[in-house]
Amino acid sequence: MAASALHEIGVDKLRGVGPQLAGKLQKLGLHSVQDLLFHLPLRYIDRTKITAIGGIQPLTEVVIEGEIKASDVVFGRRRSLVCRIQDHSGTITLRFFHFNQAQQQSLQAGTQLRCFGEVRRGKAGLEMYHPEYQHLNQAKPPALAETLTPIYPATEGVTQQRIRDLCGQALQRLDTHRLEDLLYADLDSPRLTYSLVDALRLLHNPPPGTALNLLAEGEHPAQQRLAAEELVAHHLSLLRLRQKIQQQGAPALAPNEAASQRFLEQLPFTLTSAQQRVATEISADISQSLPMLRLVQGDVGSGKTVVAALAAVQAIASGMQAALMAPTEILAEQHRVNFETWLKPLGIRIAWLTGKLKGKGREVQLAAIADGSAQIIIGTHALFQEGVEFHNLGLTIIDEQHRFGVHQRLALRKKGANLDADTEGLGSTPHQLIMTATPIPRTLAMSAYADLDCSVIDELPPGRTPVETVVLNNLRRNDVIERVRASCTIGRQAYWVCTLIEESDVLEAQAAEATAQELQLMLSELSIGLIHGRLKPKEKVQIMQAFKDGEINLLVATTVIEVGVDVPNASLMIIENSERLGLSQLHQLRGRVGRGSENSHCVLLYQPPISGNSAARLKIMRETNDGFKIAEKDLEIRGPGEVLGTRQTGDMQFHIADLQRDSHMLPEVKTIALTLLQQYPENVDLLIARWLGHSEQYGQA
């Protein structure tokens, strides 16, 4: 049969699957027989051998056999049926909290049982709670399992036994249907020592003696064979999407030396060599008629925004619009202030659009965007909402990309695709520049951003000083307050950041207000400002401006100041409850200080006791200012879905591969993917469909 046959056979064709069960299986993403084959176990239990009672260890799952020596109903905090079972080597207690009379009568003294369950320590020694059991007929004991027993991902109304049966039926179909090995055995790779079919058979039914420790770690060669294929499929989906996007064409935005020179000459600083290098890469990209897809990474304060502004100048000089999207109003406002300072002297008109802009003001901005009189449009996610029509969008700049859902980024690019592709010979897709101050580990950049070219601004502007970080118990809070007083008395400024576990603007605002009142009582000689998410945008801007102008000594804030705030005179930051924040957030917040030439300090206050992960985060913050080291550690602690901000959209969820564990495969994965594209293009879509189904669109973002 054709290779595609197994994915064309619906689960409803299997024995025992009616419409109701088929609906439940769909919740697990199981539509076809092929889906069942790739629905791999989470873990395994070993029912292939009998363990002597005297040799069992706590917290293990075992099969035992023995005779019930005593059986009683015990009344404690909960009524339970307690059976003492014995073999030649020892005794163990079976305990049932849920039982009926028939069960009680079938578990009388003298009964021979085979039991399976997890062993725990109890008051009377080792115990099993609610074990599975069979009555033994000594003349003809039931056969033991021949393979390890798989435990599958399940959903309500679908038992493990049912999934095992269905996966068993799917495996039987492999005897009569061919499952194409889409990677091809002639690709020279140590990962491909197992054929696809052999790997699947082993992982659904591992024979006795299979190394459980390797299976548990995902490092068995059969698992690595499938992980390699999944990573290849993922990589191919991104490369295929890049091809699709680049087929659409883009406006060629020719370099304009005079416009760029005018822009650079009126800046109060000179670009670093790293900024110049990245600006040249971007300029070369956007001068082509292929859509640029470039990710610019740069640590906090490395000067990504000015590089983006230079690209916008090139777009405008070519008669096109540029749009900059930021995740928060405060960051969008910061960009607007910077762009107006740099671009107004050049006569460039800037529009401003956020969700809170209403009525006449909104209409004026929308009209300017639509008729092209606004050359740069800066805003939040409001930029891609209905009713926003660009005149001729040539460049989109997305800041802090990990803060946006991937579908939001895709929506902004589609806004620019409203152009008439025939007009003036311009292409229909805007160039896209993505910026992040959260360094992305090389592991993730190679896999999650295979469709993007990456640039790194790896040099801080001159005069920046590393921030010295200390970690202190909250009991030393009064000492920290005195440190703030001393710093502000000599003319420096400070931040005091309040954090809460609850994701609630109201509670965060209340906590920040209470902290500001307390600090005002203790530091009455200082001018203290307060900023949080509940303030109106205009109020936030006024407070930030007052802080920037030196009218406020100490700014009490929630994490709204995480990105984009630039006050060179602020040299001290206090972060309360720092154990509650992730590494990326802590690094971003700390990046608000150290922007001038004075020595800067960050104090991480924590409330004990704290978890091991929290302690690890605070330790790495104390040890390094290097954003890439911090990002690697963040990936290790949190996993790729959260680091990339894709978890909320269900993307980047691998079935068997693990970016951290399998990072050593990525160079080889790249090679295999390119070989398939060039030599076996007919396999590419089949492979993507096998592993990603219909979820590949996110790679376009």
pLDDT per position as a tens digit, 617-626: 899 999 988 8
Q: Across 16-30, 134-148, 634-648, which has the greatest mean pLDDT? A: 16-30
449 and 472, same domain (yes or no)? no
* Two tokens, residue 457: 């601004």
Contact (CB, 8 A) for 226 and 656: yes
Tell me the pLDDT band of 426, cut-offs 50, 70 and 90. Answer: very low
* 451 φ/ψ sector (left φ>0, alpha ψ -120 to 50, else beta): alpha
Average confidence (pLDDT) over 662-668 = 83
Question: pLDDT class for 533, splitting at 50, 70, 90?
Answer: confident
Residue where a domain terminates, one of 76, 111, 135: 135
Q: Please tell me the predicted confidence (pLDDT) of residue 263.
A: 94
pLDDT in tens, 21-32: 988 898 888 888
Whole-angstrom distance, CA of residue 79 vs CA of residue 518: 53
327-355 confidence digits (pLDDT tens): 877 778 878 888 998 998 999 999 988 87
Q: What is the pLDDT confidence band of residue 455, given thresholds at 50, 70 and 90? A: confident
pLDDT confidence of residue 485: 95
pLDDT above 70 (res 406):
no
Q: Supply the pLDDT for residue 417.
A: 60
pLDDT digits (tens, 9 = 90+) for 286-317: 999 988 988 888 877 778 899 999 999 999 99
Which residue has better confidence, 37 or 141? Answer: 37
Same domain, 258 and 179: no
Q: Cα–Cα distance between 559 and 329 in angstroms, integer?
A: 13
594 pLDDT above the threshold of 50: yes
- Decide which of 457, 475, 499 is a domain's last residue: 457
Do 428 and 548 fall into the same domain?
no
Shared-domain flag, residues 14 and 82: no
Instruction: State the Cα–Cα distance between residues 270 and 444, nearest whole angstrom.
Output: 32
Share of the chain above pLDDT 90, in %: 36
Would you say residue 91 has pLDDT above 80? yes
**Quick one: pLDDT at residue 477?**
92
Average of per-residue pLDDT across 130-147: 85
520 and 579 in a single domain? The answer is: yes
**Residue-averaged pLDDT of the chain:** 83
Name the strand (E) or helix (H) holding 80. Answer: strand 79-86
Q: What CATH number corresponds to the domain at position 382?
A: 3.40.50.300
pLDDT for residue 603: 96
Q: What is the rounded average pLDDT of the residues 73-90? A: 91
- Dist. CA 685–CA 289, nearest whole Å: 27
Question: Which are the contacts of 429, defined by CB distance < 8 A and separation ≥ 6?
Answer: 245, 248, 249, 250, 291, 413, 416, 417
Percent of the chain past pLDDT 70, that is, above it, reads 86
pLDDT value at position 64?
94
The helix (H) or strand (E) run that includes residue 685 is helix 684-692
- Residue 113: φ, ψ to 5°: -130, 150
C-alpha distances in Å from residue 477, one per residue of 574, 577, 606: 10, 11, 10
> Is 647 a member of any domain?
no
Q: Give the pLDDT mean for 179-188.
A: 71
Label residue 187 by pLDDT band (50, 70, 90). Answer: low
Query: Could you tell me if 188 and 100 lie in one domain?
Result: no
In a domain, 178, yes or no: yes
Q: Count helices and strands (H / E) in the chain.
A: 24, 21
How many other CB atoms sit within 10 Å of the CB of residue 361?
A: 11
- Residue 352 inside a domain? The answer is yes
Q: Which residue has the higher pLDDT, 653 or 121?
A: 121
Whether residue 474 sits in one domain with residue 452 = no
| Residue that wins the pLDDT comparison between 653 and 675 | 675
Q: Which of 405, 422, 457 is the last residue of a domain?
A: 457
Number of structural domains the chain divides into: 4
CB 119 within 8 Å of CB 60: yes
- pLDDT at 687 > cutoff 80: yes
pLDDT digits (tens, 9 = 90+) for 509-532: 678 888 999 999 999 999 999 988
pLDDT(699) > 50: no
Residues 410 and 530 occupy one common structural domain: no
Question: Has residue 59 got a pLDDT over 80?
Answer: yes
Q: Is the pLDDT of residue 196 over 60?
A: yes
579 and 618 housed in the same domain: yes
Residue 177 has pLDDT above 90, yes or no: no
pLDDT of residue 500: 66
User: How far is C-alpha 218 from the chain's CA centre?
Assistant: 20
Choice between 387 and 485, residue whose per-residue pLDDT is larger: 485
In a domain, 227, yes or no: no
Average pLDDT over every residue of 447-468: 76
Tens digit of each residue's pLDDT (9 = 90 or more) over 227-276: 999 999 988 888 887 777 777 888 999 999 999 999 999 888 899 999 99
What's residue 529's pLDDT? 92
Residue 448 structure tokens: 């999650």
Main-chain dihedrals φ then ψ at residue 552, nearest 5 degrees? -110, 130
State the alpha helices, DSSP H only, in 288-437: 304-317, 329-343, 359-371, 406-416
**In this structure, is residue 117 part of a structural domain?**
yes
User: Shortest CA distance to 295 belongs to which of 240, 352, 242?
Assistant: 242
Q: pLDDT at position 523, please?
A: 93
pLDDT band at residue 641, thresholds of 50, 70 and 90? low
Domain range for 540 = 467-624
Whether the model clears a pTM of 0.85, i.e. scores above it, the answer is no
- Find the CATH number of the domain harbouring 98: 2.40.50.140
Q: Is 102 inside any structural domain?
A: yes
- Do both 448 and 369 map to the same domain? yes
- Give me the pLDDT at residue 448, please: 64
**What pLDDT does residue 651 have?**
46
pLDDT of residue 239: 82
DSSP H stretches of helix in 426-568 = 442-448, 477-489, 505-522, 537-548
pLDDT score recorded for residue 526: 93
Structural domain includes residue 649: no
Tens-digit pLDDT profile for residues 534-582: 788 778 878 888 998 999 999 998 876 655 567 888 999 999 989 888 8
Compute the average pLDDT of residues 696-701: 41
- Whether residues 421 and 494 share a domain: the answer is no
| pLDDT-derived band at 654, boundaries 50, 70, 90 | confident
For the cut 50, the answer to whether the pLDDT of residue 649 exceeds it is no
Cα–Cα–Cα angle for 675, 681, 683, nearest 5°?
100
Amino acid identity of residue 220, one-letter, is H
Sign of CA dihedral 338, 339, 342, 347: negative
Place 60 in a pLDDT band, splitting at 50, 70 and 90: confident
Question: Could you tell me if 293 and 384 lie in one domain?
Answer: yes
Domain membership of residue 142 (yes or no) is no
Model confidence band, residue 646 (pLDDT cutoffs 50, 70, 90):
very low
Mean local confidence (pLDDT), 54-81: 90
Side-by-side strand order, sheet with 570-575: 467-473, 600-606, 570-575, 493-497, 554-557, 528-531
